[in-house]
């Protein structure tokens, strides 16, 4: 029994959806381990978020609000987490699995002699330790893994693996962390940050619904159809590598082994064959819908609902039907 830490990712002063999902995971774990939940908030805004974090189960927020937090690449955040671990004496840290946080977690694991498990879709507690489920090899294999006894458990949870649940807790207390950056933390300086996303659509890593298009779209224009479908559903738009390599959609929207890992509640893929490298990025989606004119396409092996047909016939009908139902 002790404290469990939850790294809160935030944007424009508000916790991201994944962070509130992490608090749900933390509460489920804490129900068995008896731990209390402490959030870790790096950067400004912890005071304003304390009520939301409390409402979702955090009792305490460790924060480090410094210009240095994001002035250097990755390591200041590692050192802030290290300070939170030392302060709390926690043996578990949960974080939302993204490319950036995996970088942070790997470095932290070395610093604190901990074990890192990423892209976890489910956690059970056995003898007070976490047993983590994840899908590997493009979803063909499910593994359960745990960190060695006595070592810090640093666990990256996949997006949408847990729901967001408010439990109506009191505003969390705030505790400032004392972080003295090492020289090593100040080696790689961030020179500029430019926001690339000029879209009102949700980020595909967090969206509950993702609409994805592949080579079967035939051209860049096909993505206007994907965007139309996405907008009826309030979804994010993703793409296969064949589509991003062709220049039809920006690379930052690529789903798969060398792109983003997503786990929405609903994934709709059109004109995507379902190569293993694509599946590696989307197979944990809760419901998979595939539209493909080839009934033998491998995507149908993992689809919950498959539509064999020309996407240019099927998708406009789908949009029409959805619009009708929305009234």
Residues forming the site for ligand FAD (CB under 6 A): 214-216, 240-243, 254-259, 271-273, 275, 277-278, 281, 291-294, 297, 310-312
Residue 216 or 264: the one with the smaller Cβ distance to ligand FAD is: 216
Q: What is the nearest approach in angstroms of ligand FAD to the Cβ of residue 230?
A: 17
Q: What is the nearest approach in angstroms of ligand FAD to the Cβ of residue 269?
A: 8
Task: Give the distance from CA 232 to its chain's centroid.
Answer: 23
Angstrom distance (rounded) from CA 268 to CA 271: 10
Q: What is the nearest approach in angstroms of ligand FAD to the Cβ of residue 46?
A: 35
Contacts of 163 (CB under 8 A, 6+ apart): 21, 24
Angstrom distance (rounded) from CA 163 to CA 17: 9
Q: What is the nearest approach in angstroms of ligand FAD to the Cβ of residue 157?
A: 21
Asked if 4 contacts 33 with a C-beta cutoff of 8 angstroms, the reply is: yes
Q: What is the nearest approach in angstroms of ligand FAD to the Cβ of residue 310?
A: 4
Asked if 67 contacts 35 with a C-beta cutoff of 8 angstroms, the reply is: no
Strands 122-126 and 129-136: antiparallel
Angstrom distance (rounded) from CA 283 to CA 206: 15
Residue 7 or 226: the one with the smaller Cβ distance to ligand FAD is: 226
Residue 53 or 235: the one with the smaller Cβ distance to ligand FAD is: 235
**Secondary structure class of 29 (helix, strand, coil):** helix
Q: Measuring CA to CA, which residue among 83, 73, 76 is closest to residue 112? A: 83
Q: What is the nearest approach in angstroms of ligand FAD to the Cβ of residue 137?
A: 14
Residue 109 or 214: the one with the smaller Cβ distance to ligand FAD is: 214
**Secondary structure class of 9 (helix, strand, coil):** coil
Residue 207 or 275: the one with the smaller Cβ distance to ligand FAD is: 275
Q: Encoding tokens for residue 115?
A: 């074990």
Q: What is the nearest approach in angstroms of ligand FAD to the Cβ of residue 218?
A: 6
Angstrom distance (rounded) from CA 225 to CA 311: 10
Residue 58 or 207: the one with the smaller Cβ distance to ligand FAD is: 207
Half-sphere exposure of 292 (CA within 13 A, CB side): 23
Residue 94 or 272: the one with the smaller Cβ distance to ligand FAD is: 272
């Amino acid at each position: 029994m002790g404290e469990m830490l939850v790294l809160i990712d935030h944007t424009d002063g508000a916790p991201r959806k994944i962070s509130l999902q992490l608090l749900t995971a933390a509460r489920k774990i804490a129900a068995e381990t008896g731990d209390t939940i402490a959030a870790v908030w790096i950067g400004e805004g912890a005071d304003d978020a304390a009520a939301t974090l409390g409402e979702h189960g955090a009792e305490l927020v460790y924060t480090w609000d410094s210009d240095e937090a994001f002035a250097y690449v990755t390591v200041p955040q590692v050192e802030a987490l290290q300070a939170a671990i030392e302060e709390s004496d926690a043996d578990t840290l949960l974080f939302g699995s993204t490319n950036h946080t995996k970088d942070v977690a790997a470095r932290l694991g070395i610093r604190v002699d901990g074990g890192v498990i990423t892209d976890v879709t489910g956690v059970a507690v056995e003898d007070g330790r976490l047993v983590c489920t994840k899908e590997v090899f493009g979803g063909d294999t499910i593994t359960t893994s745990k960190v060695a006894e006595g070592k810090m458990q640093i666990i990256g949870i996949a997006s949408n693996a847990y729901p967001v649940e408010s439990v109506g807790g009191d505003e969390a207390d705030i505790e400032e962390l004392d972080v003295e950056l090492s020289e090593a933390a100040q080696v790689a300086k961030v020179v500029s940050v430019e926001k690339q996303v000029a879209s009102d659509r949700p980020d595909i890593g967090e969206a509950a619904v993702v609409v994805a298009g592949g080579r079967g779209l035939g051209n860049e224009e096909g993505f206007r159809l994907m965007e139309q479908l996405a907008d009826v559903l309030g979804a994010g738009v993703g793409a296969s590598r064949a589509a991003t390599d062709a220049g039809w959609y920006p690379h930052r929207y690529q789903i798969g082994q060398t792109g983003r890992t997503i786990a929405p509640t609903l994934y709709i893929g059109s004109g995507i064959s379902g190569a293993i490298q694509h599946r590696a990025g989307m197979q944990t989606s809760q419901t998979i819908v595939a539209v493909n004119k080839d009934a033998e396409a491998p995507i149908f092996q993992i689809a919950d609902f498959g539509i064999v047909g020309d996407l240019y016939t099927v998708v406009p009908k789908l949009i029409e039907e959805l619009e009708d139902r929305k009234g």
